[in-house]
A and B are shown apart, each in its own frame.
Chain A
Amino acid sequence: MKLTKKMTSKLTIKQLFWIITSVVIAVLPHLPRLPIWFPFLLLIVVSISWLSANNKINPISGWVIAFLTIFIFIAIIYFQGFSLNRELSVTILTTMTVLKLLETHAKRDAWMIVTLCYFVMLTRFFYSQDIILMLYLIISIIIVTHSLFVLQHANRPTIFIKHELKQTLKLLATGVPLAAMFFLFFPRLGSPIWGSPNLFGEGTTGISEEMSPGSISQLFNDDSTAFRATFTSSIPEKLHLYWRGPVLWDFDGFTWKRNRDIRPTTRHPDFKRIGHKINYEIELEPTGQHYLFALDYMLEPPKKAILLPDSQLLNRHKINQLRHYEITSVLKQYNPYELLSNENLDRLTNLPDGYNPQTIKLVQSWKAINPNPEYLIQKALNWFATDEFYYSYSPPLLQGDTVDQFLFETKSGFCEHYASAFTVMMRSAGIPARIVTGYQGGIQNGDYLLVKQSDAHAWSEVWIKNKGWRRVDPTAAVSPLRVEAGSQALMSQQSRSWHDTSWYRKMGENYDAVRHKWNKWVRDYNVVKQKALFEVFGFDLQDSKSVAIILGIIMMTTTLLVLLFLYITRPKRKLNHYDKIYNKLIKVFRKKGLNKPADQGVMSFTQMATAQFPQAKIPIHDFTQLYLKLRFSKYSNKQKNLDNRLKKLISQIRLTINKKV
């Protein structure tokens, strides 16, 4: 093994391998967000730098790189649009890091690029802090840190060397105590100084602000979490759990849309006198939308949100990060407190001209018998319940007069079909009605209620004069199971795909419980929780002196811990098994005043010993012979009886040389 070498500034193949791996691992989780051509760019850049390092192709000249960089920036702006937002800055940072690979020849560049990799990794967490990313954090930080290590300590050209990886792991692990302490005690900010974390983020839309046939049944296949609700008291019964989302007013024959003209008011419905109030907290997964969900009917909007007159909660910002809110509802089927103008009443009975003539005809015939809205509602529901209507999450596609087709031909549909048909029927009779979308039900998962995307639901609201809005769920008439037992019950009856088993679903729910805990204890650790922790130790977070003291204590303790750890794990020379025995002999002679010079071999030392202690000549000679035989032959490693013989000889020598004195 060659031990010395001149330090060069040129990178070895091994170092380049680790740098490329670092860049790839740092960029990889960003790929879904980046332009479609980005993976190809990454592949090309990696191949070029790898091939040129292996002298297969000539390195690219600086001019070409400069030209390429400008070209790629233009392409990014073309694909992502030009605005000085964070999205673009993250993309540019990532691109820069990747392109830097092309001109990484010297160590100086390499150090820079590896350090930038850390930053690129960090930006990933602005988008999501899911527990699964913890795994990514651990793997990537090991790889990137190992490339730092390899940059400094380029010993052998082998790419994977176990003890080098071990060294990196050891050093990283030693850093963990400080990281943990700092995480708990480093003073946090109460609110962002600039920007908002919601500027970043990725959400799965879930319920959207429009509804057309098929839009909700599509969600039925999605088992990801929509939100989690934690109740202060017991969880209400399933049939009360109508989680209200977007309220849809306008129908164009196919799609239902929100009423965008409605303005928020400060006059909230006053349920104070009636009903049982329940408090609960919701942890909403990012949606990229504005809606918040809450049980029918909510009393007041949570912080940073508004409540529209049609009992719709809107967040002020797009929800790109996990959103927590506390809210109070009364579980009611009627809402008598919404004031409707004549204009709005017209809008709520409006139907597109010329659509669904059969439905209109049928409803008109019912109305002729009894124009009472309550009667018409009951009539329609009875029809759904008694005629051959089916509840299905994969109904046939509808076109043209969608409601006519559904009611008189296919008769098979999901909640949006029933809600849509029912609302159209009510409007045909001149009764104001609208659709509410959201979620229904949920699964009790530990101490919280888990609402999945597959719990998405749509129902109707009908305006009854002098009584107010009444919630009518036509789906319940067709499939009471859906409302009473939840969407899970349907899945148990008929699996949605080959891997849709209750076991698989249970696993997903258990994972969600872990994520809930993670969100609660780690992801949402903030200034409030920190303050509580500080108070436990008798410190005041407002007082900068105590903060300084705490950080000082952390630095001191971790310093001591690190020093202790490094001292304990410092590389020690490994003594051969027989050397240990030999050392015992040396000790015996040292007690008698005979010291072994450092460079003396076994033979000359025992000769010296024999000269000084001639009475022990025989055991010393025996020991030497046996020791040399065992020490330098490969077969007799650790033979117990021979070991004992060596030890016996030592005690014999000790006895003999002690006897004379």
Chain B
Amino acid sequence: MKPEFLKPDYLQNELGNKFFPNLMLHRKPENLPLQINWRRVFILPTKPGLFFAFITFLMLIASLNFNNNMGLMMTFLLVGLAQVALYQVFFNLKNLTIDHVTVKPVFLGEEAEFMIHLKADEVKYDICIKNKSSSKDSLTPCLIELPADELHPILYTTMTSKRGWLTLGKIKILSSYPFGLFFAWIWTNIDAKCLVYPIPEISPPPLPTHAQSDGETTVIKQGEDFHGLKPFQSGDSMRLIAWKRTAQTGALISREFQQTHGKKLLLDYAQIPLADTEAKLSRLTAWVLIAYQQQLDYCLKLPQFNSGYGYSSKHHLACLKELALFALPQSKTT
């Protein structure tokens, strides 16, 4: 029986994280808020920094050869400047806190917009975010100034390539303040993910009528019967916000309405005459969007899922989420 500290898990997670926090990063996503440990900061010279070093070296050789004291003075001042820049760049990332990340669900093909909120107890400058796949020419989002004790977001966008949960993944937070001679960076694997809905079919066929049950035909309008208040949910119409109440409580409150149901709409996965799963999901997504727009009472039926009839935004979002996560490994749902 091995002692506990010799077990591979223990070595990797406990000791590894303790002594080499940077190396063990990829093991598990990190929880927010996360204050960056100074031991995780890496520093290397940038390309301009290397050129600066090269020129300084030439200056040193030339001044030394002729024992030109003013030249040496200048050269050593540049060496001193580089030394200061090296430490300043480190100070600029030290104790940076990633407070939280907000992200809204998007449809496949749109860009996922992660708002990464940063905070620090000192002023920070020129903080940029990159990931592994960021190409050189792509524009890097940067925060030019992060005032002390203020929360500021950096908008970090990535293209979505498949539906389901899109994790933020490993990102690099970097800075080359003050002179661009050195850049300091940290890798972090923030636990943040964006829900990607299937791409809605561009021109879907009209809503199915086969499962439509008869009812009274009523013109559906908003605000027929005031039902109650509920916390604002993304997706709710702006017009539904109860501003008065919002002002009192400080949290967004939207009004909820009950409607006289006209049609009942069944959107059944099994009944769509398409072979491809993704195409089916696309069509269902398009229909769900139309049904929600028209405030129809609809029910989404997927294998192993039945939403029941509903029309609320909550219902709508639940449906979209199911569509997004359909037939994906369970572990990815929350």
Contact = CB atoms under 8 A, between A and B. Distances in A.
Given A112-B48, A118-B74, A523-B70, A171 B58 contact: no
- Among A6, A525, A572, which residue has the most Cβ atoms of chain B within 10 A? A6
Contacts of A149: 178-179
B71 A125 contact: yes
Interface string A137-173: 1000100010011011111000000000001100110
Contact of B87 (A192, A563, A573): A563
Interface stretch (B141-149, B185-193, B283-291): B141-149
B84 A174 contact: yes
Nearest to A117: B55
Contact of A192 (B66, B71, B179): B66
B91 A125 contact: no
A619 B125 CA distance: 43
Nearest to A136: B70
A179 interface: yes
A115 B51 contact: yes
Interface residues on A, range: 35 or more
Interface string A531-572: 000000000000000000000000000110011001100111
Given A182-B76, A573-B121, A188 B180 contact: no
Contact of A171 (B81, B144, B148): B81
A111 B48 CA distance: 6
Contacts of A196: 66
B80 to A, nearest CB: 3
B317 interface: no
- Among A122, A168, A180, A527, which residue has the most Cβ atoms of chain B within 10 A? A122
Interface string A504-545: 000000000000000000111111000000000000000000
Interface string B132-157: 00000101111111111100111100
A190 to B, nearest CB: 9
Interface stretch (A126-134, A454-462, A636-644): A126-134
B15 interface: no
A122 B152 contact: no
B165 interface: no
Given A119-B55, A562-B87, A3 B79 contact: no
Given A566-B87, A571-B123, A179 B76 contact: yes
Contacts of A2: 144
A122 B76 CA distance: 12
A194 interface: yes
A604 to B, nearest CB: 11
A179 B77 contact: yes
Interface in A85-131: 108, 111-112, 115-116, 118-119, 121-122, 125-126, 129
A362 B210 CA distance: 144
A73 interface: no
B64 interface: yes
A559 B83 contact: yes
A525 B77 contact: no
B148 A571 contact: yes
Contacts of B22: none
Contacts of B155: 4
A153 B125 contact: yes
A558 B176 CA distance: 21
A175 interface: yes
A177 interface: yes
B44 to A, nearest CB: 15
B103 interface: no
B55 A115 contact: yes
A7 B145 contact: no
A193 interface: yes
A4 B116 CA distance: 12
Contacts of B66: 126, 192, 195-197, 200
A115 B141 contact: no
B55 A134 contact: no
A570 B64 contact: no
A153 B153 CA distance: 18
A118 B69 CA distance: 15
Contacts of B145: 1, 3, 155
A7 B139 contact: yes
B65 to A, nearest CB: 5
Nearest to B60: A186
A572 B146 CA distance: 12
Contact of A137 (B55, B67, B74): B74
A129 B66 CA distance: 12
A129 B154 CA distance: 50
Given A125-B68, A558-B83, A183 B76 contact: yes
Nearest to B72: A183
Contact of A153 (B52, B76, B77, B144): B144
Interface in A573-619: 573
Interface in A1-19: 1-9
Given A3-B146, A4-B141, A155-B144, 19 more contacts: A3-B143, A7-B128, A111-B47, A118-B56, A122-B71, A122-B75, A129-B68, A152-B176, A154-B144, A168-B178, A175-B82, A178-B83, A179-B73, A182-B72, A189-B64, A193-B65, A571-B148, A573-B122, A573-B149
CB-based closest 4 A-B pairs? A175-B80, A111-B48, A178-B80, A152-B180
29 contacts: A4-B152, A4-B154, A111-B52, A118-B55, A119-B55, A125-B63, A125-B71, A125-B74, A129-B68, A137-B74, A148-B181, A149-B178, A151-B180, A152-B179, A153-B177, A171-B88, A176-B77, A178-B76, A178-B80, A183-B76, A188-B64, A194-B65, A197-B68, A558-B83, A566-B88, A566-B91, A570-B122, A571-B148, A573-B148
